[in-house]
Amino acid sequence: MQRYSALAVLWGGLTGQTHWKPVWGRPEPKGHYDVIIVGGGGHGLATAYYLAKEHGITNVAVIEKGWLGGGNAGRNTTIIRSNYMIEGNTEFYEHSLKLWENLSQELNFNVMFSQRAHVSLVFSAAERDATARRYNLMRLNGIDGEFWDPAELRRRIPHLNYDQGRFEIFGAYVQPRAGTARHDAVNWGYARAATALGIDIIQNCEVTGFIRRAGALIGVETRRDGVAGEIYADKIGLAVAGHTSVLAHKAGLGKLPLETHKLQAYVSEPIKPIVDQVIVFGGVGHFYISQSDKGGMVFGGDLDSYNSYAQKGNLPVYQNVMAACMQILPCLGRVKLLRQWAGVMDMSMDGSPFITKTDIPGLYLNAGWCYGGFKATPGSGHTFAHTIARDEPHWANARLTLERYREGRLIDESGHGPVPKLH
Amino acid sequence: MLRIPCPFCGPRDHTEFSYEGDATVVYPALDASEEAWFEAVFLRDNPRGAHSEVWHHIQGCRSFLIVERDTLTHEITGARLAHRPTAEALK
């Protein structure tokens, strides 16, 4: 792999920038791989990278129906945090956050991870107390968290609607190590590093079915650039958030504790720096906003709240999100929206994911990410690779099982019960 | 905006309704096995395509409806009362 460095950029400047080479190619699929990862988003690419790097398994293919990172990896609001309260989530997301902290160095690719703090506003004494419990539990678990009283909040974020809002701002709970990253850079960084370790990334290749022998899955049927084919593998991992149920049915897994819903996101025209942190307006509304390095305000709100595989959002939710924005940041009222889009999510029955072996020999499952897939990217890849390579979970995903639904050990962070649209 | 053809109220915006999920789920008897309850509470077909689903016309006639909708195209091909005896009586 061609190393990136300041010196290389300087040298490139003197030699007409002729030194750049493609960092991944268009390999022909081999007939057989040790592991096939279905889904070339962040999670799939990270899984392939860690399979090679941590477990020495390099005979791996990542099979992607569209283009790299063209699904939810390219459709999120890029927020990274680990402010979780319940065992299962706490250790997993903190593990992931720690991987983020060294990711640019690890991949020799600037993923623009910016630990700019995640600020959850509270609007009543009851919300303040309930959130205090959450943040105290986080601190007991070794996750950073603190409280900003209204005076400190006003000093740090002067533009919030302190004086004319319908709801008084009682302060904010803050995770200082949380932040944002550049979503495409994460995909490209993992794809480049995985390719350098010998992994085949095969794009425009849809998995249309599975090949079985004696109850085990031994390969996938594909359609690549319109041509049908077969690729065999010892192990197959699914990382196809949003479409997990579709492939699970084809693989013979049957019904899963999932509903597919869509979530919208929005970005404004670039403006001068106004919001340094990730700000979340929860409780009475649902709204989260940060400012990209280009200056665009990146924000989102609730799900569209009915099952959907369409990557297009409805207007009533759009209106709700804008109303929430005007409630806490009315200074953005005249800013023009640049783009709006929707991604389809695996909404699980308790709002938490699963990374696990399945009852079908040869099949491994990584699904149920709800709103939270982007921040999980390194942790998901790292623990999924471990699960596939060793046939047992990593300590960080040991509780993220499918059996927990059957056993009544739900990881229900929001306390909404088995109603996916509410998580 | 989805427009849901309510049998009582005519076509109405989906914002008048509350979405209640997969209409093919049948809750078992209270003394049914844990397995039967596990399946009814947690497992879903989650199809990409035709889907029968319950919508509650909470800000209209307050009926529970079963709506036939495609989850990929959002096309709605029918809506009927979920409560079968009432639907029969109104025929």
Among A191, A183, A181, A180, which residue's Cα sits nearest to residue A68?
Answer: A191
Q: Do A405 and B38 touch (CB under 8 A)?
A: yes
Cα of A331 to nearest chain B Cα, Å: 28
**Which among B13, B41, B74 has the least Cβ separation from residue A418?**
B41
Cα B5–chain centre separation: 13
Quote the Cα angle for B1-A244-A317, to 5°. 20
Residue B10 sits in a domain whose CATH number is 3.30.2270.10
Q: Is A403 on the interface with B (CB under 8 A)?
A: no
pLDDT band with cut points at 50, 70 and 90 for residue B88:
confident
pLDDT in tens, A80-110: 999 999 999 999 999 999 999 999 999 999 9
Cα of A350 to nearest chain B Cα, Å: 9
Q: Do A260 and B48 touch (CB under 8 A)?
A: yes
Average pLDDT over residues A246-274: 97
Is residue B90, in this structure, part of any structural domain at all?
no
Average pLDDT over residues B8-14: 96
Q: Is the pLDDT of residue B87 over 90?
A: no
Q: Which domain holds residue B41?
A: 3-83
Percent pLDDT > 70 in chain A is 100
Q: Is the pLDDT of residue B83 over 80?
A: yes
pTM for the full predicted model: 0.96
**Which among B41, B42, B72 has the least Cβ separation from residue A309?**
B72
pLDDT in tens, B12-70: 999 999 999 999 999 999 999 999 999 999 999 999 999 999 999 999 999 999 999 99
pLDDT band with cut points at 50, 70 and 90 for residue A407:
very high
Q: Is the pLDDT of residue A18 over 80?
A: yes
pLDDT band with cut points at 50, 70 and 90 for residue A361:
very high
What is the residue type of A143?
Answer: I
Is residue B69, in this structure, part of any structural domain at all?
yes
In this prediction, residue A268 carries a pLDDT of 97
Q: Is the pLDDT of residue A262 over 90?
A: yes
Domain count, chain B: 1
Residue in chain B nearest A254 by alpha carbon: B45
pLDDT in tens, A116-173: 999 999 999 999 999 999 999 999 999 999 999 999 999 999 999 999 988 899 999 9
In this prediction, residue A165 carries a pLDDT of 87
Cα of B62 to nearest chain A Cα, Å: 18
The residue among B20, B27, B46 with the most chain A CBs within 10 A of its CB, best to mutate, is B46
pLDDT in tens, A362-382: 999 999 999 889 999 999 999
Is residue B23, in this structure, part of any structural domain at all?
yes
Q: Is the pLDDT of residue A329 over 80?
A: yes
Q: Is the pLDDT of residue A359 over 80?
A: yes
Q: Do A309 and B1 touch (CB under 8 A)?
A: no
pLDDT in tens, A393-404: 999 999 999 999
pLDDT band with cut points at 50, 70 and 90 for residue A282:
confident
Is residue B77, in this structure, part of any structural domain at all?
yes
In this prediction, residue A134 carries a pLDDT of 95
Cβ proximity of B65 and B5 under 8 Å: no
Is residue B45, in this structure, part of any structural domain at all?
yes
Average pLDDT taken over every residue of chain A = 96
Is residue B12, in this structure, part of any structural domain at all?
yes
Q: Do B48 and A256 touch (CB under 8 A)?
A: no
Average pLDDT over residues A413-420: 93
Q: Is the pLDDT of residue B89 over 90?
A: no
Q: Is the pLDDT of residue A1 over 90?
A: no
Percent pLDDT > 90 in chain A is 93
Q: Do B46 and A259 touch (CB under 8 A)?
A: yes
In this prediction, residue A285 carries a pLDDT of 80
pLDDT band with cut points at 50, 70 and 90 for residue B86:
confident
pLDDT in tens, A166-213: 889 999 999 999 999 999 999 999 999 999 999 999 999 999 999 999
From chain A residues 250-279, the ones with a CB under 8 A of any chain B CB are 254-260
Q: Do A257 and B39 touch (CB under 8 A)?
A: no
Is residue B89, in this structure, part of any structural domain at all?
no
ipTM score above 0.90: yes
Is residue B91, in this structure, part of any structural domain at all?
no
Q: Is the pLDDT of residue A115 over 90?
A: yes
Q: Is A115 on the interface with B (CB under 8 A)?
A: no
Alpha carbon distance A201, A33 (integer Å) = 12
Q: Is A310 on the interface with B (CB under 8 A)?
A: yes
